[in-house]
Amino acid sequence: MTLLLTVFAAVICTIVWYSKAPDASMQLGTLSLMFWGASIMWLVDAIVEYSEVGAAYFMQSGADMLNDMYLGLSVIALGLVIWLAILFIKDPRGVIKKTLLKNN
Amino acid sequence: MACFLVPASEAVVTTIAQKIVESREKKGIVKEESPVNEIPKVKFSEKLSWLNRMLWGGSALLAFEHVWHGEVNPVFPFLTAVQNGETADMLAEMSTAGVGMAVLVTLIWGTMVVASHAIENRKDKVEENI
């Protein structure tokens, strides 16, 4: 479930990045690459687990699936927070700088 | 257990490599890929940043998953497996899943670099024909 949710997040971010390209001011490429990196890593994790337990990998209990879903959503939230922090630090449109200067 | 440490270690190395390549590109040691009057090609340091972003982002999100599952602790030695005397199992997992993660991310990045190079070459050929 975590892998699935992260892949969906990566695909959505990539579509948004593609639709806005070549404008890179929102750092959407970073967000997509972050989610793709995590998706690839969880894919390897899933393959290793599948090789160990076989078809049982797909037969999770409801409680495990719910826990995995919460984890997947939390991972997406964390990814978005990291992306926001990068965006504010780099501030490619100068919004933060302008806001701070206006207040001073 | 601690598989995210392998891609995180690779990320440290590739970040240092990116900084070195970047400074060489600024100094002009690395050969410029395109003449001044053409649209500039993607620099190798920029291509390395794709790998860095995948490795750092993936490792960070995977580290969070390990915290979620109680495999990482805020106190020394930080890894539950080491605390419980399962260091050998942890190292085995790092050498299989961890190395697999780092290798697959790097292979996919390599494919991206080859594809971008092919697109740049195709663009050059079209410009030459015109």
If you count them, how many residues does chain B have?
130
Q: How far is A71 from chain B (nearest CA, A)?
A: 7
Q: Which is more confidently placed, B41 or B48?
A: B48
Collapsing DSSP to helix, strand or coil, B72 comes out as: strand
pLDDT in the model for residue A24? 85
pLDDT in the model for residue B120? 85
C-alpha to C-alpha distance for A48 and A21, rounded to whole angstroms: 36
pLDDT in the model for residue B27? 85
Q: Where are the domains of chain B?
A: 5-129
Q: Which ipTM value was assigned to this complex?
A: 0.90
Alpha helices (H) along chain B: 5-27, 44-68, 80-83, 87-93, 99-129
| Segment holding A76, helix H or strand E | helix A62-90
pLDDT in the model for residue B83? 85
C-alpha to C-alpha distance for A38 and A19, rounded to whole angstroms: 22
Cross-chain residue pair B64–A6, CB shorter than 8 Å: no
Q: Is the pLDDT confidence value at B128 over 80? A: no
* A38-68: b (≥16 Cβ within 10 Å) or e: bbbbbbbbeebeeeeeeeeeeeeeeeeeebb
**Token output for A16:** 């948004």
Inter-residue contact B71 to B3 (CB < 8 Å): no
Residue A35, strand partner residues? none
Inter-residue contact B111 to B118 (CB < 8 Å): no
Cβ count near B88 (within 10 Å): 9
Q: Where are the domains of chain A?
A: 2-103
Contacts for A8 with CB less than 8 Å, ≥ 6 apart: none
* Among B3, B64, B101, beta carbon nearest to A40: B101
Residues on chain B touching A35 (C-beta within 8 angstroms): 57, 61
C-alpha to C-alpha distance for B127 and A25, rounded to whole angstroms: 29
Is A81 near chain B, with CB under 8 Å? no
Query: What are the pLDDT digits (tens) for A83-100?
Result: 999 999 999 888 888 888
pLDDT in the model for residue A103? 66
pLDDT in the model for residue B108? 97
pLDDT in the model for residue B20? 95
Residue B72, strand partner residues? B79
Query: What are the pLDDT digits (tens) for B85-121?
Result: 889 999 999 999 999 999 999 999 999 999 999 988 8
pLDDT in the model for residue A39? 96
* Among A2, A30, A40, beta carbon nearest to B58: A40
Inter-residue contact B110 to B20 (CB < 8 Å): no
Query: What are the pLDDT digits (tens) for A1-31?
Result: 899 999 999 999 999 999 998 888 889 999 9
DSSP 3-state helix, strand, coil percentages of chain A (rounded to 5)? 85, 0, 15
Cβ count near A5 (within 10 Å): 21
Is A2 near chain B, with CB under 8 Å? yes
Residues on chain A touching B68 (C-beta within 8 angstroms): 71, 74
Query: What are the pLDDT digits (tens) for A38-81?
Result: 999 999 999 999 999 999 988 889 999 999 999 999 999 999 99
Cross-chain residue pair A75–B101, CB shorter than 8 Å: no
